[in-house]
Structure 1
Amino acid sequence: MWGIGVGVYFVAITFRTSLGVAGIDAAERFDVNASALSTFSLLQLLVYAGMQIPVGLLVDRWGTKRVLAFGTVLFTLGQFGFALSETYGTALACRALLGCGDAMTFISVLRLGGRWFSARRGPLIGQLAGLVGMAGNLVTTLVLARVLAAAGWTPTFAGSALGGVLALTLVLLFLRDHPEGHAPAPPTRLGRDYVRRQITDAWREPGTRLGLWAHFTTQFPAMVFLLLWGLPFLVDAQGLGRGAAGGLLTLIVLANMVFGLVYGQVIARHHTARMPIVLGTVAATAGVWALVLAWPGRAPMAVLVVLCTVLGACGPASMVGFDFARPANPPERQGTASGIVNMGGFTASMTTLLAVGVLLDLTGDDYRAAFSTIFVLQAVGLSQILRLRGRARRRERERVVASRVEAVHHVPA
């Protein structure tokens, strides 16, 4: 069951990141500048981020299968429409549709993992889900880029849309929300009180807010690089060929998969490692970006390899945000809390995508100035993490003590 869910997520990530290897082709096809090109990913992420809380509420209310099926229909239609688009406006609408469907996948997969695995395996299962998603990114950099160069725009994107058809078939025929005999309590009536209560109760938990800011601060440097601006930066600013640039993007994906396995195992065994992992990843990312941007002229290949390796840690570190929110919320609120957390990184990515595009146009393609926006958002996120970490830690300890007292009171005589 979990395999079907992450299979859908795999396809969604492939569609989401397909523009990352087609940015130069898209600029030529639709005759747009850097700001307009960034709008593709900006709109996609805007829809994605805006859908997170509604999707969390729907997952808590309707279950995984319905939400996943609907999301698969939407992102498949978006990818197929993007393949046929001839105008900039039509292509934008298709990316928005894709973003809406994509928004319904990851939270559903997290909830599915919570239903089919024990709570202590939560961190590892979450990291494995992210790892499978990055495998979809690997398909984009290794396969889709080569198919695009060989077959052209429409056959590449239309052919990839068939993966969505296959994923939808598997969901409809085989997916179940939970093991037999472990159905959750019947959901309450979906109304304004329910929605307000779910969101308010989840937001009141410091762990939820800490998770959001951890996700915000760690995810976006790699997301922006893979989603759109990595290939142009490596080709235009660093003078690499498309093959070498594609290899570095692939390195990010492979490093992400390795870091995901390591972080998942470490956190599953040592819960206190969550904050050091987040802060260490933020520090390493800021340090290596400062080195690359301060390097006179073009950075050596060894430095770019280090950059892409460190960027590979950003995705797994962002997954730690869900590990702050998970113990802070009861099972019936997990979808809503996960939606709030998931808004963080995508809001930061959306902001950076736009800022980089605008600054490139204003500065005449000065990538140093454009990518300096990374440090601004990291500073904002880091200040919030440091502000909330003590509060979240105390609240989590209180919940642990309360659960142990409740367990003692329910022990039969």
Structure 2
Amino acid sequence: MRRIACFRPRRALWDDGPVTSRPPAADRAGAIWVVAVGVYMLAVFHRSSLAVAGLAATERFDISASQLATFTMLQLLVYALMQIPVGLLVDRFGSRAVLASGAVLLTGAQAGFAFADTYPLALLARLFVGLGDAMTFICVLRLVSTWFAPRRIPVMIQVTGLIGQLGAITAAVPMTWALSNLGWTKSYLVAASLGIVMTAALLLVVHDAPDARNLRGPAMRPAAIRRSLADSWSHPGTRLGFWMHFSTQFSATVLGLLWGFPFLVKGEGLSEHAAGLLLTVMVVAMMAAGPLIGWRITLLPWHRSTLVLSILVAIVAVWTVVLAWPGEAPLPVLVVLVVVTGIGGPASVIGFDLGRTSNPPHRLASATGIINQAGFFASLILVIAIGLILDWRTPGASTDYSPDAFRWAMSFQYLLWAIGLVQIVRYRIKARARLRVDDPDEWAAQSGLI
């Protein structure tokens, strides 16, 4: 059986793209990446577009906090449940076909959300937003692994996440302006129309590999699929990546997707404009931290889990300061909150690097799907919990949530952080032990013993 390093790949594992007769041209690879990451950016925009529309949605559909949370809950549930099937689809049908299907679904779903005038119709539209969103990121990661030099992959993955977060920026201040000046239907129709342009560009530019527009993998029987997933999940490096993603992503995701805007406006007393700006600052922090994190883990792969643990402790600390502050926290403290919480986004991407170096190429997409669902399941749990706690702490059917209600609701994060912290430490030990058994020389080199 082939032995695979858990933390720092040997040279063979860096060469995880398909073998071709000549290296991809840099300009061609760049054009494909730009279009693919543009589709991912659009998916992040659609995913985040409800964040600043939460208060407007409660009025349009006459719903409670729990019902508002159901929008994001359903979207996240579909996204998380689709990660493994999408990984298998990418292995079977290639990135180009799956990414194009996702772009078409997103466009139709956002147009449906624009015209929805009842709660059930709006829920149906958000379900398909989650489905289309789920079909983007894994495809882009596979294209990065195919088209770029192996040692550039960790940084390119972080840059991909960085550029993708521009979609969250355009879902903050610009969407706030659009909803105020254009109204609900026109705002979401304009957003949907962008998908037509990106789908056309994708079909014209993107190729699965240097020597093929479309790649098709072999059909897998159910028994082979189960065996492949079991092999990926059984590796402690995959599980460590899973819990890294689980622990560091959910706080920023929930703030950006739904509860950040109401928390800052009603929980901390900011104006809508200031709340939108702070959410934009959070995304900028994600974008700034991503390349630095990618560069650091390339130099020091042994300390990937140490970096994640440090960022996780910082996130917990700054939330503790905000939630324990008597009354409304000062604006500078809230700026620190969104910056540190935002860094959790690129920190979660480190989990994909663990999956990449712990699995052979033919399991890459499915292992990525396993890891990618972790943070979104955590986000789903938190979205539901916040909505339920807000309704519990708010009298009657009112949506006039108090700062105290938000303090109770946001404190639910401590339970998820505690679970994640324990599991990261646990599988960090197991993954390093696995490396020591599989490759003692590599373990000694990485741990600094030689």
TM-score (norm: length of structure 2): 0.87
Query: Which of 54, 62, 65 does residue 96 from structure 2 map onto?
Result: 65
| Distance across 2 between alignment mates of 1:293 and 1:171 | 44
What displacement does 1:265 show?
1.3
Greater Cα offset, 270-279 or 82-91: 270-279
Residues 91 and 402 of structure 1: CA distance in aligned 2, closer, same or farther (over 3 Å): farther
The question of whether the paired residues in 2 share the 8 Å contact of 1:328 and 1:396 is answered with no
The 5 Å alignment of 1:100-139 reads 100-139=131-170
Query: Which of 300, 305, 315 does residue 345 from structure 2 map onto?
Result: 315
Q: Does structure 1 residue 378 correspond to structure 2 residue 417?
A: yes
* Aligned counterpart, 2:406: 367
| Distance across 2 between alignment mates of 1:402 and 1:70 | 45
The superposition leaves residues 159-204 of structure 1 with CA deviations (integer Å, 9 ceiling, x where unpaired) of 11111111111121221011228998x7332221221122111111
Counterpart AA for 2:433:
R
Residues 4 and 179 of structure 1: CA distance in aligned 2, closer, same or farther (over 3 Å): same
The 5 Å alignment of 1:278-289 reads 278-289=308-319
Query: Which of 29, 42, 64 does residue 73 from structure 2 map onto?
Result: 42
Residues 53 and 178 of structure 1: CA distance in aligned 2, closer, same or farther (over 3 Å): same
* Aligned counterpart, 1:220: 250
Instruction: Give the match's secondary structure for 2:104.
Output: helix
The question of whether the paired residues in 2 share the 8 Å contact of 1:46 and 1:347 is answered with yes
Instruction: Give the match's secondary structure for 1:190.
Output: coil
* Aligned counterpart, 1:292: 322
What displacement does 1:106 show?
0.4
State the percentage of identical aligned residues: 47
Between Structure 1 and Structure 2, the one with more helix by share is 1
* Aligned counterpart, 2:265: 235
| Distance across 1 between alignment mates of 2:224 and 2:104 | 27
Residues 402 and 190 of structure 1: CA distance in aligned 2, closer, same or farther (over 3 Å): farther
Instruction: Give the match's secondary structure for 2:339.
Output: helix
| Distance across 1 between alignment mates of 2:40 and 2:152 | 19
The question of whether the paired residues in 1 share the 8 Å contact of 2:207 and 2:213 is answered with no
What displacement does 1:237 show?
1.2
Gaps of 5+ in 2: 1-31, 395-400, 444-450
The question of whether the paired residues in 2 share the 8 Å contact of 1:57 and 1:198 is answered with no
The question of whether the paired residues in 1 share the 8 Å contact of 2:173 and 2:273 is answered with no
* Aligned counterpart, 1:174: 205
Instruction: Give the match's secondary structure for 2:117.
Output: coil
The question of whether the paired residues in 2 share the 8 Å contact of 1:76 and 1:165 is answered with yes
Query: Which of 195, 200, 217 does residue 230 from structure 2 map onto?
Result: 200
Gaps of 5+ in 1: 405-413
* Aligned counterpart, 1:88: 119
Q: For the aligned residues, what is the CA RMSD? A: 1.8
What displacement does 1:272 show?
2.4
Q: Does structure 1 residue 141 correspond to structure 2 residue 180?
A: no
The question of whether the paired residues in 1 share the 8 Å contact of 2:94 and 2:217 is answered with no
Counterpart AA for 1:347:
F
The superposition leaves residues 323-356 of structure 1 with CA deviations (integer Å, 9 ceiling, x where unpaired) of 1111011111110000000010000000000000
The question of whether the paired residues in 2 share the 8 Å contact of 1:266 and 1:273 is answered with no
* Aligned counterpart, 1:258: 288
What displacement does 1:402 show?
9.5
| Distance across 2 between alignment mates of 1:402 and 1:194 | 33
What displacement does 1:400 show?
5.8
The 5 Å alignment of 1:4-19 reads 4-19=35-50
| Distance across 2 between alignment mates of 1:58 and 1:287 | 40
The question of whether the paired residues in 2 share the 8 Å contact of 1:327 and 1:396 is answered with no
The question of whether the paired residues in 2 share the 8 Å contact of 1:251 and 1:309 is answered with yes
The question of whether the paired residues in 2 share the 8 Å contact of 1:292 and 1:304 is answered with yes
* Aligned counterpart, 1:345: 375
Residues 41 and 352 of structure 1: CA distance in aligned 2, closer, same or farther (over 3 Å): same
| Distance across 2 between alignment mates of 1:74 and 1:399 | 43
* Aligned counterpart, 2:191: 160
Counterpart AA for 1:395:
R
Greater Cα offset, 117-126 or 105-114: 117-126
Residue correspondences, number: 403
TM-score (norm: length of structure 1): 0.94
What displacement does 1:361 show?
0.2
The question of whether the paired residues in 1 share the 8 Å contact of 2:96 and 2:214 is answered with no
Query: Which of 35, 48, 57 does residue 26 from structure 1 map onto?
Result: 57
Counterpart AA for 2:409:
A
